[in-house]
Structure 1
Amino acid sequence: MNNNIDLEKEKKYNKWIVILSIVIPLAVAALFGVNLRKLGFDVEPLTFLPPIYATINGLTAVILIIAFFAIKKKNIVLHENLMTTAIWCSVVFLVLYVAYHMTSDSTKFGGEGFVKYIYYFILITHILLSIVIIPFVLITYVRAITNNIERHKKIAKITFPLWLYVAVTGVIVYLMISPYYT
């Protein structure tokens, strides 16, 4: 990377950030409501996917933590590679998550009492922040690749804990609901 901030490139990326930040949640919401089996398609339910995409969430959390320590040690190349990997993990997670929900019936949480409230609190905050995190991740990434490092650092301080929360709570939600999968 050179030392010049590429503001023109950043402006071009910003248009895509806005588009993706709107399109991704809308597409996920729309596809979440589509069950191919109920529409008459002869597809097998992809019931094996939840532990896989939960593992990807866990892997994303680990990668984010390692990337955090890499940048603290000024290992920029490792940090860049890890952050790119974390983004790709999130993309793979999203594809698998949508594929599961398009082929399988939703699972109802069967816990009762206080644990039910904890589950729904974690689930709701996870879902809301998974929507919020999209533009944060994209803006943070674009500021890095356009060499706008000072602004990258400022937003990364917000993006990192939010993204880590989404990744970790994805695993927690899976662990809490997994006994109720049929």
Structure 2
Amino acid sequence: MSRTQLDVEKKYKKWIIILSVCIPLAVAALFGVNLRKLGFDVKPLTFLPPIYATINGLTAVFLLAALWAIKNKKVELHEKLMKTAIGCSVLFLLMYIAYHMTSDSTKFGGVGTIQYVYYFILITHIILSIVVIPFVLITYVKALAKRFDKHKKIARITFPIWLYVAITGVIVYLMISPYYV
């Protein structure tokens, strides 16, 4: 490993830790803040859920396309698709926070077995969406540092988790959408 590779990884190590801790904490904190209930005159952003669900779906498509690209040795395309997937995930997160800061939470109205299925998918989606943050960041930094052996190794873990989070985000939306007011 060259000195440059070490410098790149060292440079980003603090950011990976900070973002991996701060993003879930910020989302949890902001999830409980409703600007309307605090007296701010803001309209509920009720149009956002289908948009951010679509962005989750696009993230899954970009991830699958990036996998295809790298398997076919289209490295530049792979890089662009992965950056787009990261951008989609960030955009999703911003919209998700904006929605929950301006709108009341929607309760799932299904009963029986479907209720258990929904909560299983929702809980695994939430847990893995937290877990995947450092994996995505570390995988990305390994590529930046041109440590492709390490990048490939961690990408084998990151990819299925991230794909699961993207797909289950869409499924959660589809299951709860009939209950939006």
- The TM-score normalised by the length of structure 2 is 0.98
Q: Does 1:105 align with 2:100?
A: no
2:18 alignment partner in structure 1? 19
Are the equivalent residues in 2 in contact too, given 1:61–1:164 (CA < 8 A)? yes
- In the aligned structure 2, how far is the partner of 1:78 from the partner of 1:12? 26
Q: Which runs of 5+ in 1 are unaligned?
A: none
Equivalent in the alignment of 1:161: 160
Aligned-residue offset at 1:5: 5.9
Structure 2 residue runs without a partner (length 5+): none
* 1:149 corresponds to: 148
Q: CA deviation at 1:4?
A: 8.2
Q: Once the 2 structures are TM-superposed, how far is the Cα of residue 142 of structure 1 from its aligned partner?
A: 0.4
Matched, 1:51 2:50: yes
Q: RMSD of aligned C-alpha atoms?
A: 1.0
Cα distance in structure 2, aligned partners of 1:6 and 1:46? 44
CA distance in 1, matches of 2:142, 2:19: 16
Measure the CA separation in 2 of the matches of 1:144 and 1:4: 15
Residues in 2 aligned to 1:73 and 1:11: alpha-carbon distance in whole angstroms:
31
Q: What TM-score, normalized to structure 1?
A: 0.97
Q: Deviations over 1:128-157 (max 9, x none)?
A: 000000000000000001101000000000
Aligned residues: 180
Counterpart residue identity of residue 26, structure 1: L
- Map of 1:176 onto structure 2: 175
Deviations 1:45-104 (A, max 9, x none): 000000000000000000000000000000000000000000000000000000000000
Q: By how many angstroms is 1:11 displaced?
A: 1.0
Contact 2:8 / 2:144 at 8 angstroms: preserved in 1? no
Cα distance in 2 for partners of 1:31, 1:147 equals 36
* Rounded Cα–Cα distance in structure 1 between residues aligned with 2:86 and 2:8: 20
